[in-house]
Amino acid sequence: MSVHEPEVLGRAYDARLMRRLLGYLRPHRRSVGVALATIAAGSVLQLAQPWLTKVAIDDHIAPGDLDGLDRIALAFLLVLAGSFVLEYVQTWTMQMMGQRIMFDLRMEIYRHLQRLDLRFYDRNPVGRLMTRVTSDVDTLNELFTSGVVTVFRDVFMLAGIMIVLLWMDWRLALVTFAVLPGIAWVTHWFRMNARESYRRVRLQIARINAFLQENISGMATVQLFRREARNFEQFERINRAHRDANLESIFYYATFYPAIEVLGAVATALIVWYGGGRALQDTVELGALVAFLQYSQRFFKPISDLSEKFNILQSAMASSERIFGLLDTPVEITSPTAPQRVPDLVRGASDVAAAVRPRGGADPPAMSPVPGRGSLPVAGPAGSPGGARIRFEHVWFAYRGDEYVLRDVSFEVAAGERVGVVGATGAGKTTLINLLMRFYDVDRGRITVDGIDTREIPLADLRQRFGLVLQDVYLFSGSVRENIRLGHDAIGDAAVRAAARSVHADRFIARLPAGLDSEVGERGATLSVGQRQLLSFARALAFAPEVLLLDEATSSVDTDTERLIQDALHVLMAERTTIAIAHRLSTVQDMDQILVFHKGELREAGTHQQLLVRRGLYHTLYQLQYRDQERAGTPERAAAGQTAPEPAVVDSGSGG
């Protein structure tokens, strides 16, 4: 099993990516202009310092005229003070701009992540997406603050020094430039090797991160199966590979910078040798020779800085390619451009109330069953006033390719009807809910709510009609109150308390140190599994949905808690449509209809008693489940004094 994210290092420079990156500078033109102006002015002041030294030596020290030295010294101090101020303004401006760009980019990424469908999240690990928002954006910040603009400073300094040297003495300037071919070769060698070394370091650190994330999350399993020693050896190998990659990278850096220093020293020696001889012949002034030496020292620093910027550039290219790859991921689940009109919800402001919508138009024609398998007409109770009417029409769906998890599924749930969905693991039960709320779109067929195709309803309008309770409850860090209303200020304390009371969550909330203001911790770590489940019920009811969707919602609570929830649900279901996916058949026995799925197909439909009489797939599931419960002494049937009849043999390939 691979424990790292593939690290593909693209081209060191990609003009297309760079143009797109520079687009983030457009809203900050003024800041860029200020930075460039300060860079230009600061470079001029940097160039003025050796020139002042030349003037001081040639015009005052050499001829013995000391009268003007105080003015030269004052000018030197003013130049240093001006350089400090300009450097401060440039650094402040660029850092502020970088922070604003990072803020905007992270908001853009997060906004896009919220719009992507669940199919995208099925393919991409959470850790990889977090890296896009954190580390990759930080890398681009380094490019904006110390990369793009400061490159102009280095180039400006190089060009300025070369012009000044040629203007002062072109012969001595050519002697100084004699080492440039050597610098060019060393720089090229460094870039080629450092690039590959950088790729290996990134690859190894990605492996370390992935290994740690996987093994720390699974520490209970590691300790249970005594894999500590084996995992330690594996981590040692990965960590050693990371160390070796870093040592190789250090070698190239340790070679490059001293090589530049040596070449700079060679240039200095050439200046002293050639310029000193000419100074003795009075063809070069002593001050000019000293200025040449100072300029040559300044000449090699931008060269090494530009090589360092190369590393920033290639890091930014790799990060920008990954970020833009994420931002360019198409949003497949979108609201329609010409949506169907959806009647407004009528909600109580201070209490939990059922959502009510006016209805119009004729009822759809009765569903025609497909002979053999997959489509069954399901009739609901007449005269149900609340909830929404839901209809699946010949729905096909696959998460990957043509591996269909739903095959030609058709059924109808009347407004206010309570429907249970049962079947073995992998039968497609949860997929029904995912499609109904448009977390995914159907491949074939359609789903309607109150006669309107879900793809023709704005996403916000569609999803606000549903209240979802999952088996794996997700709670956010914050208080109990915040986890029930999820930031919706329209849900007041009265509605929160009523929702909690309806599902009997108020009892354990009252025992918490701060009641509704008690912190639940990360993912509800301070609460028990049953308490988290009760909070998820309260959350769903606080939003007063028209449709309750329950996905194994009571499988994580004890028997006593489940009885409390069942009592509350019998009242709450009366005014809304309910679809309950259940593993325990006891939780759906009182439903108006039960849908039995097998291998992605709707095999049977009917009430609990009707399905038992048919002695089909549901009857087999019932027999198998209650036989296991009787062997385990499950109190549900023991209390009733019931025993299950012998299971009938069922052909699972039949149409039910």
Look up the domain containing 521 and give its range. Answer: 470-544
Residues 387, 314 share a domain: no
Is 312's pLDDT higher than 70? yes
Residue 614 lies in a domain: no
| Residue 349 confidence (pLDDT) | 34
Domain containing residue 151: CATH number = 1.20.1560.10
For residue 363 the two structure tokens come to 């009822």
Specify whether 555 is located in the same domain as 508. no
356 pLDDT band, cuts 50/70/90, is very low
| 317 and 406 belong to one structural domain | no
| Six token digits for residue 125 | 């690990």
509 and 551 both lie in a single domain: no
Sheet holding 466-469, edge to edge: 466-469, 547-551, 577-581, 418-423, 593-598, 601-606
The reply to whether 446 and 305 lie within a common domain is no
Does residue 63 or residue 629 have the better pLDDT? 63
pLDDT grade, residue 375 (50/70/90)?
very low
Q: Are 182 and 263 in contact (CB under 8 A)?
A: yes
Helices and strands, number each (H, E), in the chain: 23, 10
Range in 235-244, 493-502, 514-523 the model is least confident about = 514-523
CA distances from 387 to 13, 232, 382, 391 (A): 58, 56, 13, 13
Per the structure, how many domains does the chain have?
3
Whether 450 and 478 share a structural domain = no
Does residue 186 share a domain with residue 301? yes
Q: What is the band of 357 on the pLDDT scale with cuts at 50, 70, 90? A: very low
Domain annotation covers residue 235: yes
The reply to whether 111 falls in a domain is yes
Provide φ and ψ at 470, rounded to 5°.
-100, 165
Q: Residue 477 corresponds to which amino acid? A: S
With tokens 């939003």, the residue in question is 543
Of 544, 565, 586, the domain-final residue: 544
8 Å CB contact between 441 and 332: yes
The stretch 317-324 carries a mean pLDDT of: 83
8-12 mean pLDDT: 52
| Residue 339 in domain | no
Q: Is residue 394 part of a domain?
A: yes
Pairing of strands 547-551, 577-581: parallel
| Residue pair 556/529 in contact by the 8 Å Cβ criterion | yes
Considering the chain, what percentage of its residues have pLDDT values greater than 70? Answer: 82
Which pLDDT score, from 0 to 100, does residue 60 have?
Answer: 74
Query: Could you tell me which residue, 558 or 527, shows the higher pLDDT?
Result: 527
Is the pLDDT confidence value at 640 over 50? Answer: no
In a domain, 600, yes or no: yes
What's the mean pLDDT in 362-375? 37
Is 621 domain-assigned?
no
Give pLDDT, residue 444: 92
pLDDT of residue 17: 83
Mean per-residue pLDDT of the chain: 77
**CA distance readout (Å), 79 to 41, 49, 87, 162, 656:** 11, 7, 12, 21, 92
Higher pLDDT, 65 or 57: 57
pLDDT band at 141 (very low <50, low <70, confident <90, very high): confident
Q: Are residues 459 and 408 in the same domain?
A: yes
* pLDDT in the model for residue 411: 93
Is residue 383 domain-shared with residue 249, that is, in the same domain? no
pTM above 0.75, yes or no: no
Among 511, 544, 577, the domain boundary falls at 544
Average pLDDT (426-441) is 88
* pLDDT tens-place string over residues 454-484: 898 888 888 888 888 887 777 888 787 788 8
Strand 577-581 to 390-398 pairing = unpaired
Quickly state the pLDDT bin for 371 (edges 50, 70, 90): very low
Question: What pLDDT digit, counting tens, does each position of 586-631 carry?
Answer: 778 888 899 999 888 999 899 899 999 998 898 888 888 776 554 5
pLDDT band at 649 (very low <50, low <70, confident <90, very high): very low
pLDDT of 596: 92
Residue 102 is which amino acid? Answer: M
644 falls in which pLDDT band (50, 70, 90)?
Answer: very low
The DSSP element (H or E) to which 86 belongs, if any, is helix 69-115
Answer with the residue of higher pLDDT: 584 or 383: 584
Separation of CA 328 from chain center:
14
Banded model confidence at residue 574, pLDDT cuts 50, 70, 90: low
Long-range Cβ pairs for the range 13-19 (8 Å, 24+): 13/313, 13/314, 13/317, 14/317, 14/321, 17/317, 17/320, 17/321, 17/324, 18/317
The pLDDT value given to residue 114: 87
The one-character DSSP state at 333 is: S
Helices (H), 394-505: 429-436, 459-463, 480-485, 493-502
- What is the model's pLDDT at position 650? 35
65 and 190 belong to one structural domain = yes
Q: 78 with 196, same domain?
A: yes
| CATH code, domain with 456 | 3.40.50.300
Query: Is 524 a domain residue?
Result: yes
Q: Which of 135, 366, 362, 172 is CA-nearest to residue 270?
A: 172
Listed ranges 50-64, 228-242, 354-368, 518-532; the one with the highest mean pLDDT: 228-242
Instruction: Output the DSSP codes for 377-389.
Output: --PPPTT--SS--
Confidence category of residue 13, pLDDT binned at 50, 70, 90:
low
- Tens digit of each residue's pLDDT (9 = 90 or more) over 248-294: 888 888 888 888 888 888 888 888 887 777 666 666 677 778 888 88
Same domain, 51 and 98: yes
At 397 the pLDDT is 92
Tell me which long-range contacts 368-371 makes (C-beta under 8 A, separation of at least 24): 369/410, 370/394, 370/408, 370/410, 371/655
pLDDT tens, residue by residue, 390-402: 999 999 999 888 8
